[in-house]
Every structure is written in C-alpha cells, then in structure tokens.
Amino acid sequence: MSVSEMFAALQGALGQDQDIREEIRKEVQTLEQTAREILTLLQGVHQGPGFQHIPKKCQKAREHFGTVRTQMESLKTKFPADQYYRFHEHWRFVLQRLVFLAAFVVYLESETLVTREAVAEILGIEADRERGFHLDIEDYLSGVLTLASELARLAVNSVTAGDYSRPLRISTFINELDSGFRLLNLKNDSLRKRYDGLKYDVKKIEEVVYDLSIRGLNKEATVGAGGEK
C-alpha cells in the first residue's frame, strides 16, 4: 500500500468517526432541551405558591423523563456499544444534569436520596457497565452534589414561603449526604472540586437553621413536623 493509499484509508476512518460524533451531538442536543424543560418545571417549587404544587410538578417531570428514555434509546444506536468511554464526554454533562433532576424529583416526593440503580431506571439506561450504556458512578455522584446545592437554595426559599420545618429536614438530609461523601476516597479532580463545594452548602443550610433558632421559629417547625412535608 502506498503512502497516499494509507492516508486515504486514515481519512476514511476519521470521516466515519466524525460522522458518529455529529450524530451523537444531535441526540445530545435533544436531551439537553428536555433537561431544560424539566429544570424549568422544577424551578417553580422555589416560588411561594410552588410548595403547594410539588406533587403535580413531580408528576409532570416524570412524564418528561418518559421522553428522556426514548431519546436515550436513540442515542444508544449512534455509536458502537463497546466504545462508551470513547464518546462519553459528549453526553457526560447532560447525563449529570439529568441525574440531578431525577434526584431532585425523588427528594421532593419522598425526601430520600435516590440510588444509582433507580436513577438508571428513570433514565432508561443500565447501572451495570457490563450491560452497555450505563450510568457511570462519577456522573451519579456529580448529579447528587448538584442536588445538594439546589436543596441549599430550597432551604432559604422555604423560610421565605413560611415553611419553617423544611429547612430542618433538609439540614438533616444534607449532613447525612456529607457524611456519606466523607467515606469516599475521591481521586477524580473534577469530582473532588465539586465535593469541596458541599461544605459551603452545609454551611449555608446551617445558617438558615441557626437563624430560625434565633427567631424562635425552629420550635414552631418542630411542633408542625408531624404535618405534611
């Protein structure tokens, strides 16, 4: 084979690779649009009347995740099944965003931390990497850390809306989350940096709880803790 023939073959391989990346990019764009729609929907809980409509917003978000599952099925067909990590960077960000959104919905519904397996099911992908397109552990953890920041914001807005018990429950949840992350030996630089931000979320929520205590509103919150969340 001549040099020109060798480089012609290489150009063909590069062209095929570029075509795959372009197809992936198009699918990721549709996922990003759906993620934006879910985020916009859930942001309504931060507004005063939004607390009254949490169940309806979560139900609507679940419907959007049906669209996500369809889009994920399409994405899976755009690249060889054994080359997940070769193209992972293309969907890493949107997948982390979707993990956060799924975790936020589950928290709003039950005030519990969603498992990686449950998130994978919500998104229509696998939890086990051996089974193909899966939810990478670091992507799951990144999404959970974004949830922590969102809950810190929710704690502040809860007080504004007159819900004084929710910040106390959020504080308990975030402290348990922080304890869980302390058990991990994080090597990934990006994930480590994001985890470092968790201490600021913990501090922000502690300030909210402290303010409630100073104003005597924590007693009111404790009395009402047996009511609806």
Check pLDDT > 80 for residue 48.
no
Q: What is the pLDDT of residue 229?
A: 42
* Digit-coded pLDDT (tens) for 13-36: 778 888 899 999 999 999 999 999
Q: Structural domain of residue 76, as residue ranges?
A: 10-135
- Kindly report the CATH number assigned to the domain that includes residue 141: 1.20.58.200
Q: What is the pLDDT of residue 221?
A: 55
The answer to whether 138 is annotated as binding is no
Are residues 144 and 129 located together in one domain of the fold? no
H-state helical runs in the chain: 3-42, 54-76, 84-110, 116-123, 137-160, 166-182, 189-196, 198-214, 217-223
Q: What is the DSSP letter of 162?
A: T
**What confidence tier does 215 reach under pLDDT thresholds 50, 70, 90?**
confident
H-state helical runs in 43-136: 54-76, 84-110, 116-123
Q: Could you tell me if residue 35 is inside a domain?
A: yes
Are residues 183 and 94 located together in one domain of the fold? no
* Digit-coded pLDDT (tens) for 176-209: 999 999 999 887 678 888 898 999 999 999 999 9
**pTM assigned to the model:** 0.89
Q: Could you tell me if residue 116 is inside a domain?
A: yes
More confident residue, 8 or 111: 111
Are residues 124 and 26 located together in one domain of the fold? yes
Number of domains in the chain: 2
Are residues 119 and 151 located together in one domain of the fold? no
Check pLDDT > 50 for residue 89.
yes
Are residues 143 and 165 located together in one domain of the fold? yes
Cα–Cα distance measured from residue 133 to residue 83, given in angstroms and rounded to the nearest whole number: 9
Are residues 148 and 187 located together in one domain of the fold? yes
Q: Could you tell me if residue 142 is inside a domain?
A: yes
Are residues 77 and 161 located together in one domain of the fold? no
Are residues 128 and 160 located together in one domain of the fold? no
- Contact at 8 Å (CB) between 138 and 89? no
